Amino acid sequence: MAKGFKKRFETGRKITTESWFGSHQSMVVDHTEFDLELSDNEVLLKDDTHFYITTKDRLDTGIADPNRYANSKATYVP
């Protein structure tokens, strides 16, 4: 092995979404099932572990969505 090379530890956990941290249109769920009031610019999404709320401009951008990976009050778990 090259000096300074560190093997990445793998937990064996697989994701079923398109990416680890991005938000995608395929993850959107109907918020009316949960009796939520969202603004016109917000959507409810579900990934492998939880539900969360984000804005529509974060969908399918190719960049990480802080609402998905952050432990914030925007996270919703029914």
Nearest 10 degrees: Cα torsion 26, 20, 46, 64:
-80
Per-residue tens of pLDDT for the chain, all 78 residues: 556 666 666 666 777 888 878 899 999 999 888 888 999 999 999 988 888 999 999 999 999 999 887 765 444 555
DSSP 5-37: --PPP-------SSSSS-B-GGGEE-GGGGT--
| Predicted structure pTM score | 0.71
Residue 33 is predicted with a pLDDT of 87
Residue 18 is predicted with a pLDDT of 84
Residue 45 is predicted with a pLDDT of 92
Residue 38 is predicted with a pLDDT of 92
